[in-house]
Chain A
Amino acid sequence: MNESMDFLLWTRGTAFDVSVAIFIVGMLIRLFEIVSLGRGRDLAAPRGTEFLPGIRTILSRTLPYGGTFKRQPLTVIAGYLFHIGLLVSLLLFIPHIELFRETFGFGWPGLPNPIVDAAAVLGITGLLAALWNRLTNPVMKMLSDSEDYLVWILTFLPLLTGYLAYHRMINPYPLAMGLHILSIELLLVLFPFTKLMHTFTLFLARWYNGAMSGRRGVES
Chain B
Amino acid sequence: MTGATLERGLNAFKEQVDAPVAAFFSSCVNCGMCAEACLFYTETGDPKYTPIRKLEPLRRVWEQEYTVLGKLKKMLGLARPVTDELLQEWQELLYDSCTLCGRCAMVCPVGNDISYMVRKAREGMVASGNSPADVRSAAERAVRIGSPMGLKYKALAAQIKRIETESGIKIPLDVEGADYMPLLSSMEIINFPEYIEALARIFRQAKVSWTLCSEAFEATNTGIQIGSSDIARELVQRIVDGAEKLRVKCVIAPECGHAYTSIRWEGPNLIGRPFPFKVLHILELLDELRASGRIKTENLSNERMTFHDPCSIVRKGGVIDSPRELMAMVSTNFVEMQDHGKWNWCCGGGGGVSANTNAEALRLKVFKRKKDQIEQTGATKLITACANCRLVIEEGLEEYHVELPLEGLTELVAQHLVEDK
Contacts and interface: CB of A to CB of B under 8 A. Distances in A.
A75 B106 contact: no
A216 B30 contact: no
Interface residues of B, number: 62
B50 interface: yes
Contact of A75 (B18, B32, B48, B316): B32
A138 B22 CA distance: 26
Contacts of A220: 105-106, 113, 342
Nearest to A206: B111
A10 to B, nearest CB: 27
Interface in A77-134: 79, 134
Interface string A184-220: 0000000001010110011011111110110011111
A79 B109 contact: yes
Contacts of A212: 20, 113, 116
Nearest to A72: B36
A202 B269 CA distance: 26
A205 B269 contact: no
A37 B107 CA distance: 25
Interface string B245-276: 00000000000000000001111110011110
B269 A37 contact: no
B26 A34 contact: yes
Contact of B47 (A30, A39, A139, A204): A139
B105 A198 contact: no
Interface in B197-220: none
A210 B24 CA distance: 13
B32 A195 contact: no
A147 B317 CA distance: 37
Contacts of A38: 18-19
Interface stretch (A1-9, A13-21, A63-71): A63-71
B33 interface: yes
Contact of B269 (A42, A198, A208, A217): A42
Interface in B61-75: 66-69
A171 interface: no
A168 interface: no
Contact of A71 (B36, B68, B116): B36
Contacts of A35: 19
Contacts of B109: 61, 64, 79, 202
Interface in B102-119: 105-113, 116
Nearest to B66: A33
A207 B111 contact: yes
Contact of A209 (B50, B67, B69, B105): B105
Nearest to A219: B342
Contacts of B268: 43-45
A39 B316 contact: no
A42 B264 CA distance: 12
Contact of A45 (B67, B279, B315, B342): B279
A67 B111 contact: no
A29 interface: yes
B17 interface: yes
A218 B316 CA distance: 7
Contacts of A61: 108-111
Interface residues of A, number: 59
A137 B273 CA distance: 47
Given A37-B19, A201-B23, A201-B26, A140 B31 contact: yes
A34 B105 contact: no
Contacts of A29: 68
A26 B320 CA distance: 43
B19 A34 contact: yes
Contact of A202 (B19, B35, B111): B111
A203 to B, nearest CB: 8
B316 A216 contact: yes
Contact of A140 (B21, B30, B266): B30
Contacts of A43: 268-269, 272-274
Given A33-B66, A205-B23, A208-B111, A68 B37 contact: yes
Nearest to A143: B30
Contacts of B30: 134, 140, 143-145, 148, 195
A38 B20 CA distance: 8
B107 A65 contact: yes
Interface string A153-177: 0000000000000000000000000
A42 B37 CA distance: 27
Contacts of B272: 43
Contact of A68 (B36, B45, B315): B36
B153 interface: no
B420 interface: no
Nearest to B270: A43
B376 to A, nearest CB: 14
A37 B111 contact: no
Nearest to A29: B68
A218 B111 contact: no
A218 B318 contact: yes
Contacts of B316: 216, 218
A140 B65 CA distance: 26
Nearest first, the 10 A-B pairs at minimum CB distance are A217-B318, A206-B111, A139-B32, A43-B268, A204-B23, A208-B20, A143-B30, A202-B110, A201-B26, A142-B47
Given A44-B266, A209-B20, 6 more contacts: A75-B33, A138-B45, A195-B27, A197-B26, A198-B27, A201-B26
14 contacts: A35-B19, A37-B18, A43-B272, A67-B37, A139-B50, A143-B32, A198-B29, A201-B110, A208-B19, A209-B108, A213-B113, A216-B265, A217-B318, A219-B342
Interface of A: 29-30, 33-40, 42-45, 47-48, 57-58, 61, 64-65, 67-68, 71-72, 75, 79, 134, 137-145, 148, 151, 193, 195, 197-198, 201-202, 204-210, 212-213, 216-220
